Amino acid sequence: DQQVKQNSPSLSVQEGRISILNCDYTNSMFDYFLWYKKYPAEGPTFLISISSIKDKNEDGRFTVFLNKSAKHLSLHIVPSQPGDSAVYFCAAEGGRGSTLGRLYFGRGTQLTVWP
C-alpha cells in the first residue's frame, strides 16, 4: 500500500511559469520529507527537504510547503526552466522507531518545461 502518493504522473509547464508538484502521505509518523530529481538512466539527486516542524522551506527557485493537517506537501519551482524537465520523486522518512529511518517514495511526476 502506497504511503506516499503522487497522483499526477505528468505535468507540463511553459518556461518562466510556476511548476507545482504535489504529494500526499498517509502515515502520521512521517517527520521528514524530501524531494528528489531524476533524469533518465541516472540516479536521483537530492533537491530539497522539510522537517515536520516547519511549513515552508526555500532554496533558490525551489520551495517546499508542508500542510501536516492535510498530510500534503508541494514543491514549487519558480521560474521553471527547460533544464528542470525530469522526474520528481517525493519521499518521506518516519524517524526513529518502527520505520528504522528508511525512506518511502512516491511514484514520481514527470515534469516537462517547454520554451
Binding-site ranges for other proteins (CB under 8 A): 6, 9, 32, 34, 36, 41-46, 49, 51, 89, 93, 96, 100-103, 105-108
Q: What minimum distance in Å lies between the beta carbon of 52 and other proteins?
A: 10
Is the Cα dihedral 24, 30, 31, 37 positive or negative?
Answer: negative
- 3 vs 74, beta carbon nearer other proteins: 3
- 14 vs 28, beta carbon nearer other proteins: 28
Residue-level length of the chain: 115
- Pull the grid cell for residue 65: 510547503
Q: Please state, in angstroms and as integers, the Cα–Cα distance from residue 93 to each residue in 29, 40, 53, 63, following that order.
A: 8, 25, 14, 19
- Report angle CA 34, 67, 88 to the nearest 5 degrees: 30
- 53 vs 70, beta carbon nearer other proteins: 53
- 61 vs 107, beta carbon nearer other proteins: 107
Q: What minimum distance in Å lies between the beta carbon of 17 and other proteins?
A: 26
Bridge partners, 45 (sequence order): 37
Q: What minimum distance in Å lies between the beta carbon of 111 and other proteins?
A: 15
CB atoms within 10 A of CB 65: 17
Q: What minimum distance in Å lies between the beta carbon of 89 and other proteins?
A: 6
